[in-house]
Amino acid sequence: MFNFLKDKLKDAVDKVGEKIKKEEEPIEDTPIVKEKVKEKKEEVKKEFEKEKLHEEIEDKGFLKQIKEKVTTKKISEEKFEDLFQDLELALLENNVAVEVIDKIKSDLKNDLVDNPLSRKNIEEQIKTSLNKSISSLFGNFPDILDKINKKPFVICFVGINGSGKTTNLAKVTNYLQKNKKSCVLAAADTFRAASIEQLQIHADKLDVKLIKHTYGSDPAAVAFDAIKYAKANDIDVVLIDTSGRLHSNENLMAELKKITRVADPDLTIFVGEAITGNDAVEQAKTFNEQIGLDGIILSKQDIDEKGGAAISISYITKLPILFIGVGQELDDLEQFNKDKILQQLGLE
Amino acid sequence: MVLENLSTKLKDSLKKITSALFVDKRLIEDLVKDLQRSLLAADVDVQLVFDLTNKIKERALEEKPPKTISQKEFLIKIVYEELVDLLGKEKSEIKIERKKPFKIMMVGLFGSGKTTHISKLAKYYSKRNFKIATVGLDVHRPAAPEQLLQLSKQINIPCFINTEEKDPIKIYKQFEEEYNNYDILIVDTAGRDALSDDLIQEIKTLKSTIQPDESILVISADIGQAAKAQAEAFQKSCNVSSIIVSKMDGTAKAGGALTAAASTGAKVKFLGVGEKPDDLESYIPERFVSRLLGMGDLETLLEKAKEAISEEDAKDLGKKFLKGEFNLIDLYEQMEAMKKMGPISKVMEMIPGMSQMKLPKDALQVQEDKLKKWRIAMDSMSKKELEAPDEVLDGERIARISKGSGLNSGEIRDLLKQYKTVKKMMKMMKGGSPDKLMKKLKLPGM
């Protein structure tokens, strides 16, 4: 799935490594420096002062300073900008949002700029640093089953038009049923043509009760009725399907706020597409700010092997990716595995 | 607001040029860097971005500006031209041949908006006096045919579906005799991943059965770097001739979707700008770039106005203005026409100059709410009050209208003040040519 990004990142890391190596060559005359140091310690000390290394000199033993001087190299800020370019390009090509690349960049910068780096394994250090930065983007990934702590447990699915809310709601229902949880669905998308019929077909296939009203009715009322039904019939989980809406549409976002106010969901899941580009940031941010999200399902991951959207959305919301959607069938739902992704990126 | 961010960034880049003392290599380098960043943030394919900026750099350094324009203006011109080039060069339209039927097949990824855009296209062409029918061949997604049926019903267009049958070819053939009765047949297909082999095989077979005159790819504005590969794969399997970019009313900058066209050779013909059947705009690259760079888009506005107001209405109103006859009924009609053109924020964006004025979003919302209230107030007035408000409306009547409409009397007086302002403006314009649509467009309250 992330093979493409993996290769690209590897390439970029290699290139950065090479660049650094090339830059180092002119300083190959270090043994001479060593000799001089032995002879004229005082002079070298002055040289160091010129190079603005006062603090280190005060902090560390003199011999250690010399050792560091000859075996490590620092990357200046300017040099870093230059080195990061290839990496930036690789991330861009893999659909990571520009805003998120900036964050990765500043993380790497903190790690690498003006810190002594060992000459031998600069590549390794960049990799570790990048690994640290990217893995810090992903939160913890609990199993949805562990989250279900009350009865009925209410889950609300939100997202923009066509992101795959209904399909993934059906998949999650399937997953919960397999784990012995009873479910009821709420057709709270009362706007889009045939949305209720679509959910009905899924409900029939899954053999669960669907609570529905007519088109144009109040979605919050549908959610309310479904929860009432769950309480009366001792059902474990209520899954609410809402209509897709663009985060820029204030009226529709207000409607969504009403639904979440009435239903008071225990888990609000944002369904986002793996193929979304820079807008993923804006979408996730707005939904999170307006209604408060608890988790993410990344749909259509099977379409695109670039891992960018996962990185972007995780960074912006700091929320766990609960599942990834990998196809059209009910079983095409996978748990998101951070280690697996890092591994696939070639970072672990 | 559509494309707000991209447009702000590009405008800032251009401002840098205009405020610079002279054009030198550094200014050009800076400009190129800014451009790269904003285009990448807009999801434009990485390769295309670098091709574009290299071209701009090359032209800016080598070409000499004609004597009549300054070097700065010339630089802006180059940016404008190259952007237009990247975003599709010139407007192209779907040429509907008069054959029965002209067949349009819709293809695209899951959830890109194919079915919704069928209803928009159907509405668009039925407004232009074509007889339309739709066919639902999405047999995969649950309730997809029902969706098409419901949407077609909303706009009174016949729809052929069979919810029992699972073979799209059989469904298509089942109704074949009916198709000859229509000018345009729009066929819905299942959403698919253009890189998945079996789905592509299905669309290929469908294509050879239907033999469409036009294959339209619907692509979502928020698609990222996957756009190019997908568009190219669709192009290869079903020879896409046109593209519709959907969800343009969000915050996505659509760079990926719009430039995907460049790599397929197909042209973007329409933009989807909302969920309603009327929310479809023709795509015209020059205008689009003008809007991006903050130069306004009068033509699209006029086109919308034309659709909202029939020619005759316009003439009638024009004559009235000329005579200085203007009453609340006219104001009401004017507001109705404006409503048809879309939310004020969208209309404002298209007026040259206005897009650069930073009107707060809230202010526009307030204005929109006001218009809504005024309509309610006018609904509570008698015919006489509407026709001759200056003569009959007194405190007592205003109190009655306030009671009837549920608005306070201050809001009613606000409306009357607005009416008087517009009337005054109309009188001032008496000298000009009354047929010009723009006069009608004077926004109440602006």
At B443 the pLDDT is 43
Other beta carbons less than 10 A from residue B446's beta carbon: 12
pLDDT, average across residues B349-366: 59
Question: Which tops the pLDDT comparison, B184 or B380?
Answer: B184
Residue B7 belongs to what H/E stretch? helix B4-19
Domain ranges of chain B: 4-86, 102-295, 301-441
Question: Which tops the pLDDT comparison, B4 or A32?
Answer: B4
**Mean pLDDT in chain B?**
81
B102-295 maps to CATH 3.30.70.1380: no
CA dist., res. B327 & res. B312, Å (int): 18
Are the beta carbons of A194 and B230 separated by less than 8 Å? Answer: no
CA dist., res. A50 & res. A45, Å (int): 9
At B126 the pLDDT is 92
Q: Which two tokens stand for residue B63?
A: 């070409």
Q: Which two tokens stand for residue A269?
A: 């899941």
Preferred mutation among B157, B244, B275 to probe A, highest tally of A CBs within 10 A: B275
Q: Tokens 């860097």 identify what position?
A: B33
Order of all β-strands in the sheet with A321-325 = A209-211, A183-188, A237-242, A153-158, A267-273, A295-299, A321-325, A333-335
Q: Does B253 touch chain A (CB under 8 A)?
A: yes
Q: Which two tokens stand for residue B381?
A: 């007035």
Q: Which of A164-178, A259-273, B110-124, B194-208 has the lowest average pLDDT?
A: B194-208
DSSP letter, residue B223 = B
Q: Is residue A157 within 8 Å of residue A165, measured between CB atoms?
A: yes
Question: Which tops the pLDDT comparison, B227 or B71?
Answer: B227
At B345 the pLDDT is 62
The three-state (H, E, C) secondary structure of B39-69, written as one string? HHHCCCCHHHHHHHHHHHHHHHHHCCCCCCC
**CATH annotation of A144-335:** 3.40.50.300
Question: Which residue of A247, A249, A277 is in closest CB contact with B225?
Answer: A277
Q: Which of A53-67, B130-144, B150-164 has the lowest average pLDDT?
A: A53-67
Q: Is residue B435 within 8 Å of residue B314, measured between CB atoms?
A: yes
Q: Is residue B272 within 8 Å of residue B117, measured between CB atoms?
A: yes
CA dist., res. B97 & res. B99, Å (int): 6
Q: Which two tokens stand for residue B308?
A: 């909202």
> Of all residues in chain A, what percent are helix, strand and coil, respectively (each to 5)?
55, 15, 30
Which conformational region is residue B265 in: left (phi greater than 0), alpha (psi within -120 to 50 degrees), or beta? left
Neighbouring residues of A178: CB distance < 8 A, sequence distance ≥ 6: none
> B159 — phi, psi (to 5°)?
-135, 130
At B430 the pLDDT is 56
At A223 the pLDDT is 96
At A79 the pLDDT is 74
Q: Does B293 touch chain A (CB under 8 A)?
A: no
CA dist., res. A146 & res. A326, Å (int): 23
Q: Does B97 touch chain A (CB under 8 A)?
A: no
Closest chain A residue to the Cα of B42, Cα to Cα: A278
**Which spans in B42-167 are helix H?**
46-62, 71-86, 114-127, 144-154
- Residue ranges, chain A, pLDDT below 50: 1-2, 4, 25-34, 36-37, 44-45, 48-58
Are the beta carbons of B143 and A282 separated by less than 8 Å? Answer: no
Neighbouring residues of B136: CB distance < 8 A, sequence distance ≥ 6: B144, B145, B148, B149, B159, B160, B161, B171, B188
Q: Is residue A323 within 8 Å of residue A168, measured between CB atoms?
A: yes
Domain ranges of chain A: 3-135, 144-335
Are the beta carbons of B111 and A309 separated by less than 8 Å? Answer: no
Q: Does B159 touch chain A (CB under 8 A)?
A: no
Residues β-bridged to residue A267: A155
Q: Is B363 helix (H, G, I), strand (E, B) or coil?
A: helix
Q: Tokens 């000298």 identify what position?
A: B431
Other beta carbons less than 10 A from residue A13's beta carbon: 21
Q: Quick one: fold of B4-86?
A: Four Helix Bundle (Hemerythrin (Met), subunit A) (1.20.120)
Q: Which of A299-303, B3-7, B355-359, B402-406 has the lowest average pLDDT?
A: B355-359
Asked if omega into B101 is within 30° of 0 (cis), the reply is yes
Mind telling me how many Å the CA of A85 is from chain B's nearest CA? 12
CA neighbor of A215 nearest in space, from A189, A241, A239, A240: A189
Check pLDDT > 50 for residue B95. Answer: yes
Residues β-bridged to residue B280: B272
Question: Which residue of B42, B110, B225 is in closest CB contact with A164?
Answer: B110
Preferred mutation among A297, A303, A313, A329 to probe B, highest tally of B CBs within 10 A: A303
Q: Is A334 helix (H, G, I), strand (E, B) or coil?
A: strand
Give the B window 35-54 contacts with A, CB below 8 Å: 37, 40-43, 46
Are the beta carbons of B37 and A98 separated by less than 8 Å? Answer: yes
CA dist., res. B35 & res. A85, Å (int): 16
What CATH architecture applies to the domain A3-135?
Answer: Up-down Bundle (1.20)
At A100 the pLDDT is 87
Q: Is B267 helix (H, G, I), strand (E, B) or coil?
A: strand
Check pLDDT > 50 for residue B446. Answer: no
Q: Is residue B75 within 8 Å of residue B28, measured between CB atoms?
A: yes
CA dist., res. B333 & res. B346, Å (int): 20
Q: Which of B61-65, B169-173, B337-341 has the lowest average pLDDT?
A: B337-341
Are the beta carbons of B146 and A194 separated by less than 8 Å? Answer: yes
Are the beta carbons of A162 and B220 separated by less than 8 Å? Answer: yes
Residue A297 belongs to what H/E stretch? strand A295-299
CA dist., res. A246 & res. B88, Å (int): 26
What CATH architecture applies to the domain B301-441?
Answer: Orthogonal Bundle (1.10)
Are the beta carbons of A194 and B143 separated by less than 8 Å? Answer: yes
Q: Tokens 């919810």 identify what position?
A: B163
Q: Tokens 């669709």 identify what position?
A: B234
Residues β-bridged to residue A97: none
DSSP letter, residue B429 = G
CA dist., res. A267 & res. A260, Å (int): 10
Give the B window 322-381 contacts with A, CB below 8 Å: 365
Q: Does B163 touch chain A (CB under 8 A)?
A: no
Residue B210 belongs to what H/E stretch? helix B197-210
Question: Which tops the pLDDT comparison, A250 or B339?
Answer: A250
Radius of gyration of chain A (CA): 27
Q: Taking CA A98 as the corner, what is the angle to CA A94 and CA A104, rounded to the nearest 5 degrees? A: 85
DSSP letter, residue B355 = T
At B311 the pLDDT is 56
CA neighbor of B192 nearest in space, from A24, A217, A302, A219: A302
Q: Which amino acid is at B114?
A: K
CA neighbor of B176 nearest in space, from B111, B276, B100: B100
Are the beta carbons of A279 and B43 separated by less than 8 Å? Answer: yes
Are the beta carbons of A198 and B141 separated by less than 8 Å? Answer: yes
pLDDT, average across residues B307-333: 65
Mind telling me how many Å the CA of A48 is from chain B's nearest CA? 36
pLDDT confidence tier of residue B86, bands split at 50, 70 and 90: confident
CA dist., res. A149 & res. A140, Å (int): 18
Q: Which of A96-100, B195-199, B215-219 has the lowest average pLDDT?
A: B195-199
Q: Which two tokens stand for residue B311?
A: 């020619």
Check pLDDT > 70 for residue B322. Answer: no
Q: Taking CA A128 as the corner, what is the angle to CA A317 and CA B43, rounded to the nearest 5 degrees? A: 45
DSSP result, B330-354: HHHHHHHHHHHH--HHHHHHHSTTT
CA neighbor of B55 nearest in space, from B222, B328, B262: B262
